[in-house]
Structure 1
């Protein structure tokens, strides 16, 4: 199913069977179906709407008023007024809205990278869960074989019945581990289904995926690409967005000029005159100083957050690389030395017990050593996979 080379290392099994869902297909399905990513995509349309609104001029205003309600002496005035924005307000709004569009695009890129990393992590966890089920099944078969041998020797009067009891306890423990492994596999498949938007019952297996982490990249190479990461680019863009907002708030300090033209008609004098007017607020008290101060502090806050993001990315990179290197060494040790030796010890102890050279406790000890070694091997693979996913979450896929 999902173990490939992993199963061969653990069990000496042949190549994995063809699977229904590959990692590439899972990532593609997640990008197409994941509702959280779809919600982030909506931000692009929201930002486009805000950009369109920012470029619009104020609407003209039409007014009508009458002086004196008596018909014969009434004077009516019709006015058309237009506010003229001064101080570059419209350009500042457009600049801020365009920076918002850029930030929305980078946020989508960052969220897509996060989703891809989540899918890879869930897929690898499910693949390891498949391998864990096969591991538990292998352990149960070993325990069954041990029970059969112990019962045969008990019936022949060669060992005490307590050896059969020990073998039954070992078999019960492996059956419990098998049930737990199956439950964990099903739960991991549900996580894959949640991220990809595929029905969980429709996923029968996973494509063979190399779970060994491989060699970790050099820290200097990764850190040299730090400025190109979506997270840091987004933090930089948020600084520019806040600075654009500050420019828009500073432009608001200059009052707008309102120009009015119209016509006034007097019923009493039977005469129509043209009316022209100019008006402008006097910025005596409200000069938008509070909003300017707030926008300035938000720009400073964005710079501090950018520095915090860079520090966090550097720390996470170094920690993940260290974990990756440690896990890779452990995986190599288990695959080349520990697992083959533990398997040989089980075979030797089982044959020795059948021939009466070893006690059944020696068989149990060898079996438990092999089971523990396999479990720790899976844990080393998990640590390596987590570290690699942590790097890909920051820098993107390390391989095409």
Structure 2
């Protein structure tokens, strides 16, 4: 019964919080693709949700900006005496209503300035979302790389176990002595360490990705699916530059900041204008009842909001220069990311088209020769080491190319992966 009452109290006192807790999302579907991971992070990342909540708070300033000035109620009473005979005459009572009238379109300019600031904050949230997308993509690629590295480590360990088993058979048959067998068996430590480290890397990569997805606790069953194969990039660097100039949210934020500062200039000019105050009043004294009116016009002789006018104009000049800097940075980011992608693609192609096959060919030949007594242990171990290093280098090249593609998407604020 107490639990029922507590739940009811939560609904009544904190309906928004209770609704959010009650609608907590289930664990992500298994396994996640790259696009599913990005979409899931956008919906559940606490950092992005916090930024969106802050945007709502900034947008609430538009309500404040649109409020009209409140009127003033004024009441007074004089010459009130406790005696029946007051030599000063009958008591006097008065009540009045006063209101300041804004001129120069101050209210509409305040609303415009508040909306401009909301636009800047909105673009900044979009830029934070862009950063989250990149982080998720890189973590996703890192986990894929760790999974493939673990597969390579398992395959290498299993394959070397076959060599150890074969050498054990030769040892039992008297073809090799125990020292040679132990030298072969000692190499298992390296392969076992590779497997342990690959498993650790996979666990850490999985946890890193889950944190970005907004998971409150690490799921041991979490998994992803995808490939490190690179698609063909069909856009030129000029097309990517134009796409970035049209879509980059940080550039949009810089442009909106210019608009916001220009709106602040208009508001500062309007705030330098005089707002008259008009009032009406009712007065009662003895048997007389009268009505009156008053008008107050402040004389803006000294303070005409000169300081704020100058400040807003300086801020506008600054934001225009920062906009040009942001535009230049966008072009530079795209050019550098495109160059890095091209270099990564070339490096990956070398391994995929040549060195992987050569390393496997050398290993297989030396392995066959060694198992049949036609190669030395040093040659065999050297071939294995070359094969392991080449496979890991090829995997790193693939992952680097994928991350370069993600970086290019980040630089252009578009999905360049066709």
The equivalent of 2:242 in structure 1 is 224
TM-score (norm. length: structure 2): 0.84
How has the CA–CA distance of structure 1 residues 232 and 163 changed in structure 2, closer, same or farther, with 3 Å as cutoff?
farther
- Residue 211 of structure 1 deviates from its aligned partner by 4.0
TM-score (norm. length: structure 1): 0.87
Q: How many Å separate the matches in 2 of 1:286 and 1:274?
A: 34
How has the CA–CA distance of structure 1 residues 326 and 47 changed in structure 2, closer, same or farther, with 3 Å as cutoff?
same
Q: How many Å separate the matches in 1 of 2:182 and 2:267?
A: 81
- Residue 359 of structure 1 deviates from its aligned partner by 0.5
- Residue 154 of structure 1 deviates from its aligned partner by 5.2
Q: How many Å separate the matches in 1 of 2:265 and 2:168?
A: 83
Residue 37 (structure 2) pairs with residue 26 (structure 1): yes
Contact map agreement 1:334 1:377 (CA 8 A) in 2: yes
Contact map agreement 1:213 1:328 (CA 8 A) in 2: no
Q: Decide which of 327, 335, 356 is 2:344's aligned counterpart.
A: 327
Q: Decide which of 260, 270, 275 is 1:241's aligned counterpart.
A: 260
Residue 56 (structure 2) pairs with residue 56 (structure 1): no
- Structure 1 unmatched ranges of 5 or more: 1-17
The alignment partner of 2:277 has SS state of strand
- Residue 147 of structure 1 deviates from its aligned partner by 3.2
1:69-108 aligned within 5 A: 69-70=80-81, 73-108=90-125
Q: How many Å separate the matches in 2 of 1:260 and 1:364?
A: 99
Q: How many Å separate the matches in 2 of 1:311 and 1:203?
A: 45
Q: How many Å separate the matches in 1 of 2:297 and 2:175?
A: 110
- Residue 36 of structure 1 deviates from its aligned partner by 1.6
Deviations 1:80-129 (A, max 9, x none): 11111112211210111221232233233323332222222211111111
The equivalent of 2:386 in structure 1 is 369
Which contiguous aligned blocks of 4+ residues in structure 1 show a shift greater than 6 angstroms?
A: none
Q: How many Å separate the matches in 1 of 2:169 and 2:79?
A: 120
Contact map agreement 2:233 2:417 (CA 8 A) in 1: no
- Structure 2 unmatched ranges of 5 or more: 1-28
Q: How many Å separate the matches in 1 of 2:302 and 2:191?
A: 80
Q: Indicate the larger mover: 211-220 or 324-333.
A: 211-220
How has the CA–CA distance of structure 1 residues 251 and 164 changed in structure 2, closer, same or farther, with 3 Å as cutoff?
farther
Residue 84 (structure 2) pairs with residue 67 (structure 1): no
Q: Indicate the larger mover: 143-152 or 53-62.
A: 143-152
- Residue 159 of structure 1 deviates from its aligned partner by 5.2
- Residue 263 of structure 1 deviates from its aligned partner by 1.4
Deviations 1:31-59 (A, max 9, x none): 22112221222244324422222122111
The alignment partner of 2:60 has SS state of helix
Q: Decide which of 316, 323, 340 is 1:299's aligned counterpart.
A: 316
Q: How many Å separate the matches in 2 of 1:305 and 1:96?
A: 19
Q: How many Å separate the matches in 2 of 1:308 and 1:192?
A: 33
How has the CA–CA distance of structure 1 residues 169 and 86 changed in structure 2, closer, same or farther, with 3 Å as cutoff?
farther
- Residue 155 of structure 1 deviates from its aligned partner by 5.4
Q: How many Å separate the matches in 2 of 1:164 and 1:68?
A: 119
Deviations 1:300-334 (A, max 9, x none): 23223222222222222111111111111111111
